[in-house]
Amino acid sequence: MKSLLPCLFLVLAASTSQAAQLNKQDMQAIRDVCQSDVMRLCFGVRPGGGRLKQCIDDKRDRLSEPCRAKLAEVEAARNKAEQAAE
């Protein structure tokens, strides 16, 4: 299970639409809030090949409310920044 931890924030970041633009603070916030959800819902999923991201996407409705809210908050902020840059 420890092998999930290094990949956790990358998977959760990739679940947002603007993953490449996430700053360290956003990634840490997602990691802090969503770590237990990923461990609980995707236990046994091997990192790599998009498997963890797919697991989170498939189980997004089962994520805790704080995790869903944090993902939505970060995604909304990224969308707003992207629109402002246009």
Please, are residues 17 and 75 in contact by the beta-carbon 8 Å criterion?
Answer: yes
Give residue 58's domain range: 4-85
Residue-wise pLDDT for 18-66, tens only, equals 444 667 888 888 889 999 999 999 999 988 888 888 888 899 999 999 9
pLDDT at 17: 45
Mean pLDDT computed over 1-26: 57
Mean pLDDT computed over 77-83: 83
pLDDT at 47: 83
Q: How many domains does the chain have?
A: 1
pLDDT at 81: 81
pLDDT at 21: 60
Rounded to the nearest 10°, the torsion over CA 18, 21, 22, 24 is 170
pLDDT at 83: 84
